[in-house]
Amino acid sequence: MDNYEVILRLGLAIFIGGLLGYERQYKNRPAGLRTHILVCVGAAIISMIQLHITTDTIALIIEHPELSNALKADMGRLGAQVISGIGFLGVGTIIREKGSVKGLTTAASIWTVGCIGLAIGMGYYFLSIISAVSVFFTVVLLRRFESNFFKKVNLVKLQIEYYNKEDLNLELTSYFKSKNIKIKDVQFLIHGREENTLFRKCLYIILVPRYVKIGKVIEELNSFEKIVKVIKE
């Protein structure tokens, strides 16, 4: 395999992994841009290692025909076991906390570095170096891109007026959960004596994902029978 072919395949892996990861990142899902790129790059590295092994084996058999029977075994079998073991190691870095998943990018980077280690051990130095550059680009440089380009959530305050006899908390919690909106705080506003006691007011402080239109949320909340009106502060 030529060097330019290695660069092309790794570049394509970064592009396609990033393209699919962008959509997941935009939807505020746990496995986002960098995680998808790392997994795609790691899979490409393993594929190219296997191709290198096959090519080297064929060349060795052509040069030494007497070794044809001895080289029938799958030379990539040991590497496959290494990759599986590294996968279990990566699982240990994934943490689930308060409904969110953390550590997926770290797990993916550990797995990809394991793939690079196999390439180094087998003597495929150019593949190893270009792969390391690709992973560094993904983990370090794209992190800055993520932090600047993706604003994951917006803090929004909604004042909700509803009928005094109704309890909306469970219904609103279920609605916000269906929209992937997190409730940061709820404040119940106390009425003065001169105010209408038929209604109650509360202030919901919520974290709204970037892709969710707050105007649509307010419109849907205003359609609830128990709600009188919703105002964004």
* Residue/partner pairs of 88-95 with CB below 8 Å, 24 or more apart: none
The reply to whether 138 and 35 lie within a common domain is yes
In angstroms, the CA 99 to CA 84 distance is 27
Residues 19-59: tens digit of each pLDDT? 777 766 665 565 677 778 888 888 888 888 888 877 877 88
Residues 5-21: tens digit of each pLDDT? 888 888 888 888 887 77
**Owning domain of residue 23:** 3-149
Residue 74 has pLDDT above 70, yes or no: no
In angstroms, the CA 231 to CA 40 distance is 45
Question: Which DSSP letter does residue 131 get?
Answer: H
The reply to whether 179 and 201 lie within a common domain is yes
The reply to whether 136 and 57 lie within a common domain is yes
In angstroms, the CA 210 to CA 215 distance is 13
114, 149, 184 - which closes a domain: 149
149, 184, 200 - which closes a domain: 149
149, 175, 204 - which closes a domain: 149
In angstroms, the CA 49 to CA 73 distance is 16
The reply to whether 161 and 92 lie within a common domain is no
DSSP state string for 34-79: HHHHHHHHHHHHHHHHHHHHHHHHHHHHHH-GGGTTTT-S-TTHHH
**What average pLDDT does the segment 122-136 reach?**
85
The reply to whether 49 and 164 lie within a common domain is no
Residues 144-181: tens digit of each pLDDT? 766 665 556 678 888 888 887 667 788 888 888 888 88
Specify the number of domains making up the chain.
2
Residue 124 has pLDDT above 70, yes or no: yes
The reply to whether 34 and 129 lie within a common domain is yes
3-state secondary structure of 161: strand
The reply to whether 109 and 224 lie within a common domain is no
Q: What percent of the chain has pLDDT over 90?
A: 0
